[in-house]
Amino acid sequence: MKIKVAVLGATGYAALELLRILHRHPSVEVVAATSRENTNRLDEIHPSLTGWYSISCENLGPKDLATRGVDAVFSCLPHTATAAVAPELLELGMKVVDFGADYRLNDAAVFNKWYNVTHPDPERLPKTPYGLPELFRDAIRGASLVANPGCYPTSAILPLAPLLKGGYVASDEIIIDSKSGVSGAGRKPSMKTLYPECNESIAAYGVGTHRHTPEIEEVLTTASGRATSVIFTPHLTPMDRGILTTAYARQTKEASEAEIIAYLRDFYKNEPFAQVVDALPTTKDVIHTNRCHMTARVVKGRVITISAIDNLIKGAAGAAVQNFNLIYGLEETTALL
């Protein structure tokens, strides 16, 4: 018998990737898709799904989902919207994987400050596992609610966490310079992401103010046990998808480039979705996959890590299914190869 799944907020790009992955998932049946306004069929909203899904978007609340027999919910709702319904969903016995930021941080005060809101469900924050299985697999396994990581944090944390943990780099003054494809900005008409505005152009944005900053800092701190501070600069890059993160950290332990790469490779040796490579990774190597490619270089006393992911898959929908598989005790790679 299949696990009955609902997708909340099914009109965006991450939801589309999720629906593609779920279509291949042998243990899943998608029984509902929600939207507050859109009532079209899924294949009208996402023509690439033609023939795969016959359902339409509906405006459904937790009780409606329970009535449909939904077992698990993937929520692609905007921030605070998931936390507004998660308590009821969980009480009704559903599992929840949240694509948004609502449960990523431990401290509601930090959330409230960076997101300029009041968190609707603050108690659950410190108890909710951060859905990066490569670092927090045990906590995710069997959880009821998982906070899917942000796309930039995934790309930055995967190479940096082991180096911090191993004492290879200093935990202050880490500079993270990230370049993301435009799908990261979402599927809403906007001047900034109008094709002729951002095509053939690259630009920084949110310098010093991007909300993924506290997430990166907190998770690196948790994962390494050392209070970590970062400067994070995202750039809008003229491509659909993919994030390349170049991070600069001061080296604190004598080690050659080869030794650092070997250490990372060993750290991730059993991971199906974290590949340590020798050559410099490109986003093209990983787009349309759930994998992170990463490597390191040593230059003038700095360890430079370069890592690449697909922001919509390893940075969103793929990670969500990876977490879902862990929650249900399924093979972690199901539908993700």
Q: How far apart are CA 121 and CA 119, in angstroms?
A: 6
Q: How far apart are CA 191 and CA 220, in angstroms?
A: 34
Nearest CA to 201 out of 193, 211, 209 is that of 193
CB closer to its own copies out of 89 and 239: 239
* Torsion angle, alpha carbons of 283, 301, 235, 106, to 10: 90
Q: How far apart are CA 315 and CA 13, in angstroms?
A: 12
- Residue 294's contacts (CB-CB under 8 Å, 6 or more residues apart) are 158, 159, 264, 274, 275, 276, 277, 281, 305, 306, 307, 308
CB closer to its own copies out of 119 and 179: 179
CB closer to its own copies out of 118 and 190: 190
Residue 87, both tokens:
């308590």
Least distance (Å) from its own copies to the CB of residue 151? 14
Q: How far apart are CA 106 and CA 129, in angstroms?
A: 9
Does 57 qualify as catalytic in the annotation?
A: no
Least distance (Å) from its own copies to the CB of residue 17? 11
Least distance (Å) from its own copies to the CB of residue 147? 25
Active-site annotation holder among 57, 151, 198, 292: 151
CB closer to its own copies out of 128 and 213: 213
Least distance (Å) from its own copies to the CB of residue 194? 6
Q: How far apart are CA 242 and CA 302, in angstroms?
A: 25
Total Cβ atoms within 10 A of residue 113? 11
Least distance (Å) from its own copies to the CB of residue 193? 5
98: amino acid identity, one letter = D
Q: How far apart are CA 243 and CA 181, in angstroms?
A: 6
Nearest CA to 81 out of 142, 21, 151, 34 is that of 34
Q: How does 186-217 read in b/e, with b if 16+ C-beta sit within 10 Å?
A: eeeeeeebeeeebeeeeeeeeeeebbbbbbbb
Q: How far apart are CA 210 and CA 245, in angstroms?
A: 15
Least distance (Å) from its own copies to the CB of residue 212? 14
Least distance (Å) from its own copies to the CB of residue 123? 31
Nearest CA to 136 out of 144, 147, 125 is that of 147
Beta bridge partners of 257: none
Question: What amino acid positions are annotated as catalytic residues?
Answer: 151
